[in-house]
Chains A and B, each alone.
Chain A
């Protein structure tokens, strides 16, 4: 049986009106901001399902924009996020799609950095302010954002997981959960490693440098 924490019941502290359509949306945006390492020059946000149909009444658009600016779901400035984006010189394009998503509350967030690098994530708000990221730059993943997370895109060959986890071991980072996703044998693959302590930028660079089969490394 699930062991709910006290603060799953009394919480989250959040900006309303909806834990799924507002707090969850803000969290999704913030995950994209983290994955893009805070470097956001332009963002294209596409809302699907119930996000698209009732999102405006729930401030889903404002919440997503607040997130990509790095605001937390309980930041009182959330309702003015469109203005904040304008002030920060971040251009925002919000689209409403009638395409049927897998989960009713889904958003696609495409971020372009100042240098023109594109990061695209897809995620869903699954209730009570909890979220699930299902896609990063076209890779299928599954992560909650509840833990510090390391996402490594790599080629599916023997030893690559060992290379990455050895570096984590050397940096004394304990793995809480780990999953590996691949398109096909020996093809593009991705490991999602949720850890107890955050993975520092230095560690991220080490992995990219020393693990030859890795192509992209993200940290959250």
Chain B
């Protein structure tokens, strides 16, 4: 790696914003330069991989909305289709309802052993494709624009992975669907013409909105409450992007929010970090389901 390339190895939001403003470039372009430097690959190679990522994402949304999914355990499935059919009458408005349904669709496909892209994890895989692909339909964003959106989302996810964690076992659900929402929010802002600073405000707001959210999967499975947590994650992403685009700022800077999220994750009892021992996973109904599925208490 040359010295010039090394300049793009940022680890903090403040460093990323400094790079963006020094070069008058969007987050996606800085992230692209970082990726080509880090992995020693061409821009074309990164875009090719992004294109494949995007087409897997698109297929997972389409499949989840057009065919009723049933999870391997039999516990979940069909809710994305339900909401999609109801979207026109939705109190939250049709575009939001469709984004939420698309997000749930991906996680239902995931739970039925279909193909998805982890973003940042399989359990939080619905938010980013759900909101990006739905917004692209109404806004007319091209696939090239969506690839830029994935780069911006990846930059935010990478910053959270560096500064905190993107694993439910380490940081609870805030680290998974919180990160997914922050990534999607930043991508929406950039693709809607917002500034890099606004993109990080949106990401910070999305993280703050679910700070402390625990990971409590029923029977240890990536189904309940994960599918609905992706629903709220999608809504969180759209809401946070709109707030930032309207000029609302996060009083607490992005990097400090990430640091706070890390300490909240550390303070979280292990029962609330993907062990299926706490939260709704410990409810009598969840316990009964677990016994029925696996014939035992401990996951």
Contact = CB atoms under 8 A, between A and B. Distances in A.
Interface string A25-53: 00000000000000000000000001001
Interface stretch (B97-105, B117-125, B236-244): B117-125
A127 to B, nearest CB: 6
A186 B32 CA distance: 50
A9 B161 contact: yes
Given A4-B162, A10-B128, A53-B298, A76 B222 contact: no
A162 interface: no
A79 B109 CA distance: 12
Given A5-B38, A7-B49, A56-B294, A15 B162 contact: no
A78 B31 CA distance: 33
A6 B161 contact: no
Contacts of A86: none
B293 interface: yes
B interface bracket (residues with beta carbon within 8 Å of A): 35 or more
Contact of B35 (A5, A12, A74): A5
Given A10-B150, A54-B294, A16 B112 contact: yes
B53 A16 contact: no
Nearest to A2: B162
Nearest to A1: B11
B122 A23 contact: yes
Contacts of A79: 72, 112-113
Contact of A9 (B56, B154, B223, B294): B154
A72 to B, nearest CB: 11
A6 B158 contact: yes
The interface centre, meaning the residue of B109, B118, B299 with most chain A CB atoms within 10 A of its CB, is B118
Contacts of B219: 54, 57
A116 interface: no
Interface string B247-259: 0000000000000
A128 B118 contact: yes
B205 interface: no
Interface string B71-86: 1110000000000000
Contacts of B150: 6, 10
Contact of A15 (B49, B113, B299): B113
Contacts of A123: none
B151 interface: yes
Interface of B: 9, 11, 31, 35, 38-39, 46, 49, 52-53, 56, 71-73, 109-123, 125, 128, 150-151, 153-154, 157-158, 161-162, 166-167, 169, 183, 219-223, 276, 293-294, 296, 298-299
Interface of A: 1-19, 22-23, 50, 53-54, 56-59, 62, 74, 76, 78-79, 127-129
Closest 5 CB pairs of A and B: A16-B110, A9-B157, A79-B113, A54-B220, A6-B154
